[in-house]
Amino acid sequence: MAPAWSPAWAAGPGLEERFFQQVRDHFSFETCGNETFPQRYLVSAKFWKKGFGPIFFYTGNEGDIWSFAQNSDFIFELAEEQQALVIFAEHRYYGKSLPFGLESTHLRKTGLLTVEQALADYAVLITELKQQYGAADCPVIAFGGSYGGMLSAYMRMKYPNIVAGALAASAPLLSVAGLGDPTQFFRDVTADFQKSSPGCVTAVRKAFQQIKDLCLSGAYSEISSKMATCNKISNKEDVYQLFGFARNAFTMMAMMDYPYKTDFMGHLPANPVKVGCEQILAHTDPIQGLAALVGVFYNSSGSAQCYNIYQLYQSCADPTGCGIGSDAKAWDYQVCTEINLTFNSNNVTDMFPEMPFTEAMREQYCQSKWHVRPRAHWLQTNFWGGDLKSASNIIFSNGDLDPWAGGGINSSFSPSLIALTIKGGAHHLDLRGHNPADPPSVTEVRRLEASIINGWVKSAGMGRAQEKRLAASAGRQL
């Protein structure tokens, strides 16, 4: 899900916002292949050892690039340590990087929104900026979290000539390629709440069951008043929307279950899962308790008098939520084409109402919304699915509290394809900056990541020096 807001102020030490005239279509030599659009990127040379230090390149994901820069302080901490140039590149069709301006997410303007085009953008941008900065011999390390983590891994796989290594944090490479278990995601969200407080899951199940019973007896006004909806619930469709709206709050709280207050994808308190469980358990009426629990995500300020369930949550082709606004539309298109997220809740292995989302349902939705047909197996073909053993120099990190971890790479393939697990870590916690409330495991994982990345940088530097020596001696022999 993409953040729906964008801070106007600079995040991270010395970041400057710039634009690069990027090719609209890298894979055509006609029409769009000759046109450009302004791609936004952020750059900081504050810690860079000019001409020698590495380049740390964040492969932007589904949102405004400032929000990722503001929540990835580990990259700056590491840049200071390793004297790196830092670049955060915005993904095409998100934030201000719009190939067709404000019409970019209109029908028939979305065709150039693909993973392949985004990776080509990054490859072209890196090549150009290395030239601009006189950094031809500086190794590039890609960083990314979630979908951005997938992109950083893909960059190393597709463009190993450009990227020397990648940190893919919380990257669900398997589930997006259609290789996961469709029940896994909401089962793991449930497990997070179960771990926090066993009584919590029982109370949640009870609340959803009571709403179902009220729905069957036609007592819609009681549902409306107890769940504090702005508009009266008046039919089964409204109840289904209410279920999606509520389930989304649990998803976001599980993903962002950080040990301190955050403002990443909404404003959340420290340990939001624990806070949410305390809310529902403090109420004698389970439905009113559920309304209070979802308020931890939807009403963090405490000032909302009611929930506008159709405005706060918009269902889309991603059952974990697309967010709202134009970034949400772009993501909806991506999960209708290459990225598979056919997760469902079933009320057996999870605590949520039964909400199926099959391949057929996805196809029907995508055909009617975007006039496209998803390619269920394309990512397996194009980005190798789970068969990654011929890749190298990628770290796959996952937190054991993160519901996305179950669809990621959780065991190492080789000494240079390394899986790291963060005990007590939520969604890409390792990319966030040091915090006194951090669990010890994330401190250790960051230390390991720093050491591995330093090794990649050194060996890339040595490889370059050797290439130059060989070229020089070959020149002498001629």
Residues annotated catalytic, as ranges: 146, 402, 427
Residues 6+ apart with CB under 8 A from 395: 165, 166, 167, 168, 418, 419, 420, 449, 452, 453
Q: How far is it, in rounded angstroms, from Cα 26 to Cα 41?
A: 18
Q: How far is it, in rounded angstroms, from Cα 475 to Cα 469?
A: 10
Report yes or no: 223 and 239 within 8 Å, Cβ to Cβ.
yes
Report yes or no: 222 and 370 within 8 Å, Cβ to Cβ.
no
Query: Radius of gyration (Cα) for the chain, nearest Å?
Result: 23
Residues 6+ apart with CB under 8 A from 359: 342, 374, 376
Report yes or no: 212 and 273 within 8 Å, Cβ to Cβ.
no
- Classify residue 441 by its DSSP letter: H
Residues 6+ apart with CB under 8 A from 292: 279, 280, 282, 283
Which alpha helices (DSSP H) does 197-271 contain, by range? 198-216, 220-227, 236-255
**Burial profile 47-82: b = 16 or more Cβ within 10 angstroms, e = fewer:** bbeeeebbbbbbbbbbbbbbbbbbbbbbbbbbbeeb
Place of tokens 């601009």: 132
Other C-beta atoms within 10 Å of 401: how many? 25
- Mutual angle of helices 326-334 and 359-370, in 10-degree steps: 130
Give 22: exposed, middle or buried? Use CB within 10 Å, 0-12, 13-18, 19+.
buried
Measured at the CA of 316, the angle between CA 310 and CA 318, to 5 degrees, comes to 130
